[in-house]
Amino acid sequence: MYVHGEAWTIKELFVLPNEYIYWSIQIVMYPFMTGLVAGAFVLSSLYHVFGIKQLKEMARFALVFSFALLPVAMLPLQMHLQQPQRGIEVFMTPHFTSAIAAFGIVFSTYGAIVASEIWFVYRKHLVRTALALRNRANKRISEKIQSLIFNALTLGVYDISERALHQDEKAVKVLAGIGIPVACFLHGYAGFIFGSVKANALWMTPLMPVIFIMSAIVSGIALCMLTYIVVMEIRKFLAARKNAARLTHQTKEEIKGIEINVIKMTAKYLLFFLIFAISLELLDLIFRGYTAVKTWDILRSVIYGKDFTDIFILQYGVGNLLPFILFLLPGLTVRRTLIGVILVLFGVFMMRWNVVIGGQSFSLTFAGFMHYHLPIIPDSIETFKEGLFGALLVFATPFVLFWILNKVFPVFGIEESH
Amino acid sequence: MITRRKFLKNTIAGIAGLALPAAGAEIVSPRKLFAARNDTISGPNVRWAFLVDTYKCVGCGLCVKACKLENEVPYDANVTRTWVERYVLTKDGRIHADSPKGARDGFTTSKIDLGEGRFHDIKKEDIDKAFFVPKLCNQCENPPCVQVCPVGATYQTADGVVLVDRKWCIGCGYCIMACPYGVRFFHPVYHVAEKCTFCYHRITKGLKTACVQACPFGARMVGNIKDPNDPVSRIIRTERVSVLKDEYGTRPQVYYLGISREVI
């Protein structure tokens, strides 16, 4: 007879009998993954809406990546449900006084926006590929399937005249413009889910949605940079191989030049949002200490005592300060950026961890603590879903999806993209 | 060729046609049907409330035991719909409190349970005061658990009791997070949110709750706050009672006699 939460919760001092860490690693993953989605989209919109030309290369990449991340924002939620087969009820019978009920609407709206934006961006490519495949004689089975997919994706519109393409551009701009507030809403309201829980002393703050949005953008940009660097390294490797040279359009040196420029530009935006995120988090902390309401005693013992390493060493130190210095030092290199963005991602993950797990590490009695022990080796479905491997599964999925999406919507090497 | 006018016409007709059966569902709303039945005690003249006289509680835990058996919460699972807390205040100004296994087996030792298998023994002469506090769902007038349920699986009945629909709960745990009193948990068998219902199946038939019935000292009482002659209602109106955590704006309906400021 297992009680949900008992496997990974250790109670200390006066904790109520029903209290456990009910929201575990998957609920840490949920805001982390949604944050990546929102952040990647905002990054792509910086080019499409505000016309920041230096981000052109990154924008297309970020857009497709954001789409690959999208289904994964829902995966951790689904995995943590006690009745996953009923998850669809949130879409079918939403109870609108609940912050979670809006999920279905916000999520589908956002999904529709990203999907249509990608369609407009890639329309020319889709049409050309579809027509080329259609006119090819003696098609193999794989080509027939390809032809079918591409022809379906054109939605029957084969007009790629100058005028039509110009309209596509307009549509992309509008969609990206609408997408920014929707992406912020998608993630801001993830913050609202936590910030509005009045029973939880650590979560309840109106700053929560804003803090979530800022750190979301930070993490989204960082992940795009990370993936971008990895992909560029692979392309460089391919370009260096003579026989593969024909496949890529650029030489190794050309790629290298583009890479460092894009990275330097994106790093500036990363820093900008990082400063915002840290300022807000510190404001929240200072405000709590200064006002010192009834709950501050227990919060202080969690923040400065039990969770000190997680918050100040891992999140602020390793995850924020260290990459901050790495990016600010002159002569930014690809390798330094790579270390920097990995640390930033780690920092944002720790922030989610400290909010979700930290918020449940003290009792409603304000006189007891709960410690979370992440299940590593799963001994049941429960400890798999809400353990290390469940979290890794969630983290790995978007990369697999991106790899698949990239076959249809190639992010590099097509000059006809918007 | 379909014209715009024809298209709009058909669309409107289609929507109207689809809406008709939905309107039918409204006419035979189960809630109204249930309210119309008169074999149960409910309706506008009933609002269930609970009264705990902490002076009378001795921490025997018979209420917890009775609750677990009555409501089929697995006996050995470390979750419970109701529990009893022990508070021991020592002369050095410290508050010691515990509720081992929710006090299912009563408080058989003077040692305070610190968790992780550690205990703290307090000498009798060091104690300033000590008392027991039974806890259960407060059946709030403004229940945060009902507010946050994303699918409406938890709801408040017309007579004020908050219930969970086991067939509809998705098990997200948001209600558990939202409850400031920690009364909710996941049922170890059904894997959905579970909570104290004031033994709704009993009180609506004129019976007492299992815990009230089991208490040998009359520390627990359940009654209708809207009935001026109800003993519970009379005590709440005429004596000095308090509620727990009213700063959360939940308007709890479990009233306490003799509660001390240390109780949270």
Model confidence over B204-242: pLDDT tens digits? 999 999 999 999 999 999 999 999 999 999 999 999 999
> Could you give the number of structural domains in chain A?
1
DSSP string of B84-153?
A: EEEEEEETTS-EEEE-GGGGTT---SSSEEEETTEEE---GGGEEEEEEEEE-----SS-HHHHH-TTS-
Give the pLDDT of residue A62: 86
pLDDT at B26: 56
Residue B21 has pLDDT above 90, yes or no: no
For residue B30, give the amino acid letter.
P
Rounded CA separation A41/A186 (Å) = 11
Average pLDDT of every residue of chain B: 91
Across A42-56, average pLDDT:
81
What the block records as the tokens of A257 is: 């030049």
Interatomic CA distance for residues B173 and B171, integer angstroms: 6
CA angle centred on A301, ends A300 and A302, rounded to 5°: 90
Rounded to an integer, the average pLDDT of B31-35 is 59
* Phi-psi sector, A196: left (phi>0), alpha (psi -120 to 50), beta: alpha
Q: How confident is the model at residue A238 (pLDDT cuts 50, 70, 90)?
A: confident
| Interface touch A99/B180, C-beta < 8 Å | no
Residue A115 belongs to what domain range? 25-196+381-418
Q: A103-107, A292-296, B196-200: lowest mean pLDDT where?
A: A103-107
Contact between chains at A100 and B101 (C-beta distance less than 8 A): no
What residues of A are in contact with residue B183 (Cβ under 8 Å)? 18
Decide if B170 and A200 are in contact by the 8 Å CB cutoff. no
C-alpha dist (Å) from residue A35 to A30, A72, A214: 8, 11, 9
Interval B104-133 mean pLDDT? 93
Beta-carbon contacts of residue A2 (< 8 Å; ≥ 6 apart): A380, A382, B188
What are the backbone dihedrals phi and psi of residue A155, each rounded to the nearest 5 degrees, phi first? 55, 30
pLDDT at A134: 86
pLDDT at A248 over 70: no
Distances (CA, A) of A353 to A19, A77, A349, A385, B179: 19, 15, 6, 17, 21
Cβ partners under 8 Å of residue B258, min gap 6? B53, B54, B55, B131
**CA dist., res. B232 & res. B239, Å (int):** 10
Q: Does pLDDT of A407 surpass 80? A: yes
Q: How many CB pairs under 8 A join A and B?
A: 145
CB B252 within 8 A of CB B243: yes
Among A23, A82, A100, A371, the strongest candidate for a mutation testing the B interface, having the largest count of B CBs within 10 A, is A82
pLDDT at residue A249, as a whole number: 60
Check whether A122 has a pLDDT greater than 50.
Answer: yes
Tell me: pLDDT of A417 over 50: no
% of chain B residues with pLDDT over 70:
91
* Cβ neighbour number for residue B79 with a 10 Å cutoff: 23
Report whether pLDDT(A416) > 50: no
- Nearest-CA neighbor of A221 among A36, A28, A56? A36
Looking at residue A258, what is its pLDDT?
73
Is residue B257 helix, strand or coil? strand
Question: What pLDDT does residue A418 have?
Answer: 45
Q: Which of A97, A197, A366 sits opposite B177 (nearest CB)?
A: A197
Residue A95 pLDDT greater than 90, yes or no: yes
Contact A2 B188 (CB under 8 A): yes
CA dist., res. A70 & res. A65, Å (int): 9
Least confident span in A254-263, A268-277, A338-347: A254-263
Q: What value does the mean pLDDT take over residues B45-61?
A: 96
| Average pLDDT score over residue span B118-141 | 95
pLDDT value for B28: 58
**Least CB-CB distance to B147: which of A93, A94, A97?**
A97
Cβ–Cβ under 8 Å, residues A11 and A389? no
Which positions in chain A touch B101 (Cβ < 8 Å)?
17
Measured between beta carbons, the chain A residues lying within 8 angstroms of B189 are 1
Q: At what angle do helices A103-135 and A56-80 cross, to 10 degrees?
A: 130
pLDDT digits (tens, 9 = 90+) for A1-18: 789 999 999 999 999 999
Out of B76, B150, B169, the one facing A100 most closely (by C-beta) is B150
User: Is the CB of A197 less than 8 angstroms away from the CB of B192?
Assistant: no
pLDDT in tens, A221-237: 898 888 888 878 887 88
Q: What is the DSSP string of B143-202?
A: -HHHHH-TTS-EEE-TTS-EEE-TTT-----HHHHH-TT---EE-TTT-SEE---SSHHH
CB contact under 8 A, A86 and B116: no
Task: Name the residue with tokens 């952040």.
Answer: A39
A295 pLDDT above the threshold of 90: yes
A10 domain residue, yes or no = no
Q: How near does any CA of chain B get to the CA of A92, in Å?
A: 8
Residue B264 has pLDDT above 70, yes or no: yes
Residue A262 placed within a domain: no
Q: Kindly report, residue by residue over B148-164, the tens digit of the pLDDT.
A: 999 999 999 999 999 99
The DSSP element (H or E) to which A11 belongs, if any, is: strand A9-13
Cβ distance of A367 and B248 shorter than 8 Å? no
Interface contact B182-A19, CB threshold 8 A:
yes
The percent of residues in chain A predicted with pLDDT above 70, rounded, is: 96
User: Looking at residues A202-219, what average pLDDT do you find?
Assistant: 92
- Predicted local confidence at residue A74, as pLDDT: 87
Task: Identify which of B135, B178, B192 has the shortest CB distance to residue A199.
Answer: B178
Distance from CA of A201 to the nearest CA of B (A): 10
In a domain, A282, yes or no: no
Residues A36-43, mean pLDDT to the nearest whole number: 85
Region B52-79: mean pLDDT is: 96
- Taking contacts as CB-CB distances below 8 angstroms, the residues of chain A near B102 are 17
- A315 pLDDT band, cuts 50/70/90, is very high
In a domain, residue A315? The reply is: no
Task: Give contacts of A10 with chain B, Cβ < 8 Å.
Answer: 115-116
